[in-house]
């Protein structure tokens, strides 16, 4: 769920359902940021599109990682329920540059995870920061 904090920043908050979350390579993130900044300038858009095509070999491992995550997720969810493993609850700012800046918490049970996610949403709306989750340990 997307939540708008008191300072105007958009956050994504919820249970992590995928077995893992594939991360885009940093080079692709930089190219994506550049192409977002040149929208509306035809010649520069063409150059940006060519750069994305030249970097397409970097997309292949990222796409394969997504496919593997999607294929393994049903088994991971089943094992999480059967073995009563903790559910990850995450919150992060909704930007490409901030994907690695996740606040995380773990609770046993899907209802408890949903309750923690609801509490975190309320904290972000009130305080602009999730206080019930563990802060990221490394800078972006």
Residue ranges of domains in the chain:
2-127
Measured between alpha carbons, how far is residue 131 from residues 64, 65, 68, 116, 120 in Å?
A: 35, 31, 32, 11, 7
Q: At what angle do helices 26-37 and 42-54 cross, to 10 degrees?
A: 170
More confident residue, 68 or 49: 68
* Alpha helices (H) along 90-137: 110-127
Tens digits of per-residue pLDDT, 7-52?
888 898 999 888 888 887 777 777 667 666 666 666 776 777 777 7
Whole-prediction pTM: 0.70
């Amino acid at each position: 769920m997307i939540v708008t904090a008191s300072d105007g920043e958009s956050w994504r908050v919820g249970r992590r359902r995928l077995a893992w979350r594939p991360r885009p390579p940093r080079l692709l993130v930089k190219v994506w940021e550049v192409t977002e900044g040149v929208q509306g300038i035809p010649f520069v858009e063409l150059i940006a599109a060519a750069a994305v095509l030249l970097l397409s070999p970097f997309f292949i491992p990222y796409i394969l990682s997504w496919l593997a995550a999607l294929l393994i997720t049903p088994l991971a969810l089943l094992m999480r329920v059967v073995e009563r493993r903790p559910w990850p609850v995450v919150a992060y700012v909704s930007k490409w540059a901030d994907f690695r800046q996740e606040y995380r918490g773990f609770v046993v049970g899907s209802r408890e995870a949903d309750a923690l996610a609801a509490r975190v949403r309320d904290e972000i709306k009130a305080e602009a920061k999730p206080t019930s989750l563990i802060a990221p340990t490394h800078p972006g």
